[in-house]
Homo-oligomer: A and B are copies of this chain.
């Protein structure tokens, strides 16, 4: 096996890529804007121009096993990116094939959340685990499910959309999907912001540091966190509420696949115990006896960008 693999993480804003050695060390990495190109081919051409000097520095293409890619709505079976809502490229893009033809290297592609799960399994806190679930609490809520040491892809390659499972039937409207009460409508950055605005509106007489942020449209999980550690009542309630809903959702997932651990990462996890305690409590309260006090709730130890690059590169290490 060649010494190095390339990992590419395509996000709604940035595309990050790097050259990874066998032990999961990122030799060199760079990024480019995802949506600033005319078309897909332009994007790939630009990617090529940025990657080739790095490849040559690592000993040339002969020293590269292949290219692994994580992308929104990436399908492992087909190598396509299909109807990705956050990307400019419309319809079905045969992305893996196009990259392979440009680089003359083997290419594997999967969705971004699965790539991150792969990174956790190969190099992160799920190393050695055969059964775990990763949940990204970011702009959206993503998930990667590992069973028997393999990413769950499902019949069509689209398994693991846990952010879209409904946990509050008839609840908050999720703009992107039209669903009501899905996990993502509460446990994402947007969800936390909406909960903040709701709680501020419902409690007009409660003083809160968040009111200033609200006026200037600056409420994020970060500002909520900053207010919460200063003892702000509403800020703390936001994490309580979010954690309760998240924990109940996690319990449902546990009763599906009985994982050894659930690995959380993304912006919201920076609130640490403020979000983790109510999450853990709600999860345990919603489990049947045989699952109680068994499932570890962990934070990812990898840098978020690194997890995705490492995970993507691991696709061609299998």
- Chain A interface residues (CB < 8 Å from chain B): 73, 82-83, 130-131, 145, 147-148, 150, 152-162, 164-169, 177, 179, 248, 251-253, 255-260, 286, 288-291, 294
CA A256 to CA B252, docked complex, whole Å = 10
Q: Is the CB of A169 within 8 A of B168?
A: yes
- Residues on the B chain within 8 Å of A157, using CB: 258
Q: Is the CB of B290 within 8 A of A257?
A: no
Q: Residue of B at shortest CB range from A129?
A: B155
Q: Is the CB of A158 within 8 A of B290?
A: yes
- Shortest A292–chain B CB gap in Å is 11
- Residues on the B chain within 8 Å of A288, using CB: 161, 164, 177, 179
- Residues on the B chain within 8 Å of A248, using CB: 166, 169
- Residues on the B chain within 8 Å of A153, using CB: 258
| Majority secondary structure, A binding face | loop
Q: Is the CB of A159 within 8 A of B286?
A: no
CA A253 to CA B291, docked complex, whole Å = 19
Q: Is the CB of B82 within 8 A of A165?
A: no
Q: Is the CB of A145 within 8 A of B258?
A: no
A-B contact pairs, 24 of them (CB 8 A): A131-B155, A145-B256, A145-B257, A147-B154, A148-B150, A154-B257, A155-B259, A155-B260, A155-B294, A156-B294, A159-B257, A160-B256, A161-B255, A161-B256, A161-B288, A161-B291, A162-B256, A165-B251, A166-B251, A177-B288, A179-B288, A252-B252, A256-B256, A256-B257
How many identical subunits does the complex contain?
2
Q: Is the CB of A256 within 8 A of B290?
A: no
Q: Is the CB of A156 within 8 A of B83?
A: no
CA A155 to CA B129, docked complex, whole Å = 9
CA A260 to CA B210, docked complex, whole Å = 47
CA A289 to CA B153, docked complex, whole Å = 17
CA A251 to CA B166, docked complex, whole Å = 8
Q: Residue of B at shortest CB range from A85?
A: B289
Q: Is the CB of B147 within 8 A of A152?
A: yes
- Shortest A175–chain B CB gap in Å is 13
- Shortest A71–chain B CB gap in Å is 14
- Shortest A151–chain B CB gap in Å is 10
- Shortest A201–chain B CB gap in Å is 22
Other contacts beyond A73-B290, A166-B286: 16, CB < 8 A: A82-B290, A83-B289, A147-B147, A152-B257, A155-B259, A155-B260, A157-B258, A158-B290, A159-B256, A161-B255, A165-B251, A165-B252, A165-B256, A169-B248, A177-B289, A253-B256
- Residues on the B chain within 8 Å of A164, using CB: 255, 288
- Residues on the B chain within 8 Å of A166, using CB: 248, 251-252, 286
